Amino acid sequence: MSLTLYMHPLASFCHKVLIALYENEVTFRPETIDLGDPGSTAALLAKWPVGKIPVLHDGDRERVVPETSVIIEYLQQHYSGPVPLLPEDQDARLEARLWDRVFDLHVSVPMQKIVTDRIRPEGGNDPFGVADARRTLDTAYAMIDTQLAGKRWATGDHFTIADCAAAPGLFFASIVHPFDGGQANLASYFERLLDRPSIARTLSEARPYFSMFPYREAMPDRFLYDGVS
């Protein structure tokens, strides 16, 4: 097997794929990309001109696989393990795909908007866009809290692609836009995510880079040390 993951240990979408890889103990080689360094991004751009990370390269099949949801589906097709992140049952699979989209589009994307606005050059901020992102997160948190009633994981009893998407989105969103204190289902789900070994490992590997996070000062102390829960 010769899988290479072009990634950065702090990047939330990279966490989503790392969690999937660790869940199924898939062997891969991480290739760290510094998005601010043209020398470092050249190999990535040659494979995926959009320039977003992560991107998976499968040397055995000479296949470049971008986009986290597609990467996870590809891993399941060709490097499956004990944890089926896309369920066999078609209805359950649709549900997992739906909540994967919800966490990416309505948690991670607005979270990224808030984070990246902080590092824009002077005069380049977008207060309207940031306020809109905060409203999106409020709506998403309420939806997720309702969805989680009586569930262990995002779509039921089994850990799926939706939980891989949820963990990094909620981790960083909880720092830049804390949950409403009344959302008990969301709060307890978040703690279960933090306790999951694949997620704890991903966060542990990201920890040396937390000083680069634009909202570093807002990180709760418990996130700064191993054994986050």
- Which residues contact ligand GSH by CB under 6 A? 11-13, 35, 51-53, 67-68, 104
Q: Which residues contact 98 (CB under 8 A, 6 or more apart)?
A: 162
d(CA 162, CA 97): 7
Query: Which CB sits closer to ligand GSH, 11 or 144?
Result: 11
State the minimum distance, in angstroms, from the CB of residue 209 to ligand GSH. 12
State the minimum distance, in angstroms, from the CB of residue 179 to ligand GSH. 21
Query: Which CB sits closer to ligand GSH, 35 or 184?
Result: 35
Query: Which CB sits closer to ligand GSH, 12 or 136?
Result: 12
State the minimum distance, in angstroms, from the CB of residue 102 to ligand GSH. 13
Q: Which two tokens stand for residue 67?
A: 């986009």
Query: Which CB sits closer to ligand GSH, 75 or 145?
Result: 75
State the minimum distance, in angstroms, from the CB of residue 181 to ligand GSH. 28
Helices (H), the chain: 12-23, 38-47, 68-78, 90-103, 109-117, 127-147, 161-176, 184-195, 197-206
Q: What are the b/e assignments for 28-44, b being 16+ CB within 10 Å?
A: bebbebeeeeeeebeeb
State the minimum distance, in angstroms, from the CB of residue 7 to ligand GSH. 9
Residue of 46, 42, 66, 43 lying closest to 56 (CA atoms):
66
State the minimum distance, in angstroms, from the CB of residue 87 to ligand GSH. 20
Query: Which CB sits closer to ligand GSH, 31 or 187?
Result: 31
Residue of 23, 17, 33 lying closest to 72 (CA atoms):
17
Query: Which CB sits closer to ligand GSH, 7 or 200?
Result: 7
Identity of the residue numbered 66: P
Angle at 139 (CA atoms; ends 135, 143), nearest 5 degrees = 165
Q: Which residues pair with 57 in a beta bridge?
A: 4, 64
